[in-house]
Amino acid sequence: MELKAYLAILWRQRWLVLFVPAVALLAIIVQAIRYQPRYTASAAVIVTRLPQETPADQYRYDEYYLYLTNEYTVDDFTEVVRGNVFASDVAQRATAALGTPITPGEVQGSFSVTRRNRAVLLSVSAPDAQRAVAIAQAAVAALRERGTQYFGFNDPARQVIVQVIDDPQSAVPDTTRTRLLWAIQLVLAFVIGVFLAFLADSLSDALHDPEDVRRALDLPVVTVIPAPPERRGRAS
């Protein structure tokens, strides 16, 4: 089938092609009206272990093992941030700062944590910007004040330095993903409309052009008698 034939089918079934995207667009408009964006606050801290004092007569390996220890400590901190003990501390601090109750479960559900070299990257998502910033700031404060106490290390010689390199001062609405989903819905609706148009045309017994007649009767078309202008207008 030639491209012109496909285009002719789409033109004949144009209302079906447009109807499905129109319904999807209406649904997207309703979603946009009712949509409540979530706000994300980000923070980053550098975690460094304090070097142990080494006697002058011992070789220090150029702090190589200290670097490895820092790497392992950062790995452990990413698990600490995901735990409910850390979430309870953050919830208490955020509740005190914000003045409204925040539960440990909400804190755990709002956190996303990754690591990059010796940095711990925190991302906090909440229904409003103030809440996201309060939780993120409480998390940074808990890490700075307690550090490796979450590991049970209370010995000052085993403490870490937690240095803030990205202080959470504001939160931004996270709308990119939602807009992408709306765009996907609209494209998918258009594809479904095109599919239904071809399906409806294939199920129809009507003959629209000489090629349809030739395929249906398996006979050559000798001539074509044009329809009167008024008939052509109604057919279009």
| 236 residues of the chain, pLDDT tens digit each | 577 777 877 888 888 888 999 999 999 899 888 888 889 999 888 777 655 555 555 555 555 445 555 565 676 777 788 888 889 999 999 999 888 899 999 998 888 888 777 778 889 998 888 999 999 999 989 888 887 777 776 666 656 777 888 888 888 887 788 889 989 999 999 999 999 988 887 776 665 566 665 665 666 766 666 666 655 555 44
Is residue 147 domain-shared with residue 209, that is, in the same domain?
no
Q: Are residues 134 and 45 in the same domain?
A: yes
In a domain, 232, yes or no: no
Does residue 227 sit within a domain?
no
Q: Are residues 17 and 94 in the same domain?
A: no
Q: How far apart are the first and last CA of the chain?
A: 21
Residues 135, 74 share a domain: yes
Largest CA distance in the chain: 110
92 and 156, same domain (yes or no): yes
Is residue 235 in a domain? no
Query: Is residue 5 located within the same domain as residue 52?
Result: no
Q: Is residue 60 part of a domain?
A: yes
Please state, in angstroms and as integers, the Cα–Cα distance from residue 15 to each residue in 10, 84, 152, following that order. Answer: 9, 55, 69
Clarify whether residues 100 and 147 are in a common domain. yes
**Within a domain: residue 93?**
yes
> Is 71 in the same domain as 159?
yes
Residue 129 belongs to what domain range?
Answer: 39-173
Token representation of residue 18: 């447009």
Whether residue 6 is found in the same domain as residue 51: no
Which residue, 117, 123, 157, is CA-closest to 40? 123
Query: Is 17 a domain residue?
Result: yes
169 and 149: one domain?
yes
Are 54 and 29 within one domain?
no
Domain count, the chain: 2
pTM above 0.95, yes or no: no
Same domain, 45 and 120: yes
